[in-house]
Amino acid sequence: MPSEQFDARSKGLVLTTAGGLALSFDIPLVRLADGDIWPVLALRNLSTFALAFVILLILRRVGDGRVPFRLSIRSLAASALYGLSTMAFIAAVYQTTTANLVFIVAFNPMFGALLSWFFLKERPSSATLATMAIMVCGVALIVGDGMAAGHLFGDLLALACGFLIAAALTIGRASKEPMGFAPLMGTLLPGMTGLVMASQTGFAISDPQWVLLDGAVMMPLAFWCLATGPRYLPAAEVGMFYLLETILAPIWMWLIFTEAPSRMTLIGGTIMLLGLIGNSVLQVWLSRRVQPGV
């Protein structure tokens, strides 16, 4: 593997790992705020947008001439998709369990693989296709359990969130444009939507400092890292780093709120995680066989 390619891949791995770790604190911080959905949506996303806008202005003034975010049809489309995914995600926090939400959102790498295959002609490997079939079984178990428990709508919102994230990542992969600020700019849509709705229902948040920590620190870090990842890694591979949230968020919720997932959710989630981890390990093993010197 050429040193330039190795360096780019290493940079992508560091960025996406940091992004996935920061993302794992999203749901616990939202729950800790103890607020209604609309004011939480507004405060979380408008604080993210305000910080991103200030950073963008600073970078344009003191940067090296490179444009950190370029207005284009693709960047606007990616931003809109990220904004819609955020709305689906926050709504799902209020409509289903944390474990169901993060396990279903973890299906986004498979959406990414399908979208890349259809639009970018990047045909997934046989191992990835097999992983898709395994993960469909896992999602079916979780959604079926959601139907029985009465939170099917929340599970469908989580599935929509995964698809929207995959679509945004695919656009970033195809465009080759700097997309690090696309999800941050996309927070304006859910932020303004939440603000309009909260003006009618009220701004009830018991502990807003947790939402501010989430919106002004954790989410900008997570969004920028994960959105920059496709410049160095395939979209489907970047999506796999959302697994850090899948694994860690239910642990944080169990430690803080003693929220335990159902037996069927654990079974379905384990099937999905094993499928994704097995596919990742196999891909690494195959790449080393092809390039034994790496």
Q: What's the confidence (pLDDT) of residue 294?
A: 45
Helix (H, G, I), strand (E, B) or coil at 205: strand
Buried-state track 263-274, b at ≥16 Cβ within 10 A, e below 16: ebbbebbebbbe
DSSP 253: H
The model's pTM is 0.81
pLDDT at 2: 53
Per-residue pLDDT reduced to its tens digit, 89-142: 999 999 998 888 988 888 887 888 889 888 888 888 777 788 888 888 988 998
Q: Is 35 helix (H, G, I), strand (E, B) or coil?
A: strand
**163: helix, strand or coil:** helix
| DSSP codes joined into one string, 62-90 | HS-S--SS---HHHHHHHHHHHHHHHHHH
* CA gap 279, 267 in Å, rounded: 18
Determine the pLDDT at residue 161. Answer: 94
The rounded Cα 202 to chain-centroid distance in angstroms is 29
Phi and psi dihedrals of 35, rounded to 5?
-135, 170
Tokens representing 257 are 């709120």
pLDDT at 239: 63
First to last CA, the chain: 6
Cβ distance 86 to 186 under 8 Å?
yes
Q: Tell me if 247 sits within 8 A of 86, measured CB to CB.
A: no
Q: CA 180, CA 15: separation in Å to the nearest integer?
A: 11
Beta strands in the chain (DSSP E): none
Please name which of 218, 281, 217, 205 lies closest in space to residue 248, comparing C-alpha atoms. Answer: 218
Handedness of CA 95, 91, 47, 61 (dihedral sign): positive
Q: CA-to-CA distance for 273 and 289, rounded, in angstroms?
A: 24
Q: Which helix (H) or strand (E) holds 117?
A: helix 108-120
CA 88 to chain centre: 11
Tens digit of each residue's pLDDT (9 = 90 or more) over 139-157: 899 888 888 888 889 999 9
The answer to whether the CB of 164 falls within 8 A of the CB of 82 is: yes
For residues 64 and 178, what is the distance between their CA atoms, to the nearest angstrom?
14
Instruction: Render each residue's pLDDT in the chain as its tens digit; 294 residues.
Output: 455 555 777 788 888 888 888 989 999 999 999 999 999 999 999 999 998 888 888 877 776 656 666 778 888 999 999 999 999 999 999 999 888 898 888 888 788 888 988 888 888 877 778 888 888 898 899 888 888 888 889 999 999 999 999 999 889 888 877 777 788 889 999 999 999 999 998 889 999 999 999 999 998 888 778 877 877 877 667 766 767 888 888 888 988 998 888 889 889 989 988 887 777 667 656 655 655 444
The two three-digit tokens of residue 170, written as one number: 């695919």
